[in-house]
Amino acid sequence: MSGRPIALITGGSRGVGAAIARALAPTHDLLVGGRESTALLEICDELGARPWPVELTDERAVAEAAADIDRLDVLVHSAGVARLGSIAELPVQVWREAFEVNVTAVAGLTRLLLPALRSARGHVVLINSGSGKRVSPGWAAYAASKFALRAFADALRQEESPALRVTTVYPGRVDTDMQRAVREHEGGDYDPAEFLTPASVARLVVAAVTATDDALVTEIEVRPAGPVR
């Protein structure tokens, strides 16, 4: 790593995470997190980044990987899962997975990296969702996990201020593989033009982490400009 600020992006091999990695690459040295895959290696080769291939729900693996990080300027939590279905039909395993990936893994990794973040007076960015502010039928497990993620971010901001900055981003629907799976579940057609681009979300993340010292960006909410679905 050079003398530039260091950023770790989870879920960085595709979608919004990959877009954030590309947006931060000109100004930051990157650790790009994701499951070990060709996609992870490809984006790291593209950006000159260091791969961080860690299964975030494996507590021991996360602890071992985090132990080597002694300074961290930006931590972006972009990894997440969305499993849809009514409360009547969703098995308890789906609820467990939603909270394990979308909340517990986030809390665990953040806790391990707090010394490195404090050392840099760093910035934690959490990619939430519109479902972290409002609930729709069929989205109960996902929305509940995102409401919990919102609470985690708010508590972290209060506990660690002013040493750390904490920003939550609430995107509307984004053109990603996850969105394709959602639309398939909903039985609708998929038109990328109806959704935000990952790059649009990434630009907002850059705006938050490059804000001047007198400005704390606590929340950003963004929706597609087209008709609301």
Active site residues: 142
**DSSP H or E stretch at residue 42:** helix 38-47
CA distances from 54 to 11, 192, 215 (A): 10, 30, 33
Look-up of token digits 């950006």: 47
**Are 217 and 167 contacting, i.e. CB atoms less than 8 angstroms apart?**
yes
Query: What distance in Å separates the CA atoms of residue 215 and residue 132, rounded to the nearest whole number?
Result: 24
- Exposed e or buried b per residue across 105-125, where buried means at least 16 C-beta atoms within 10 angstroms of its C-beta: bbebbbebbbebbeebebbbb
For 42, half-sphere exposure in the C-beta direction (CA atoms, 13 angstrom radius) is 6
* CB half-sphere exposure, 149, CA atoms < 13 A: 35
Cα within 13 Å of Cα(169), Cβ side: 27
Block residue for tokens 């959490």: 126
Full strand arrangement of the beta sheet holding 74-77: 50-53, 29-34, 6-9, 74-77, 123-127, 165-171, 219-222
For the record, the structure tokens of 22 come out as 């590309």
Q: Which two tokens stand for residue 183?
A: 């639309």
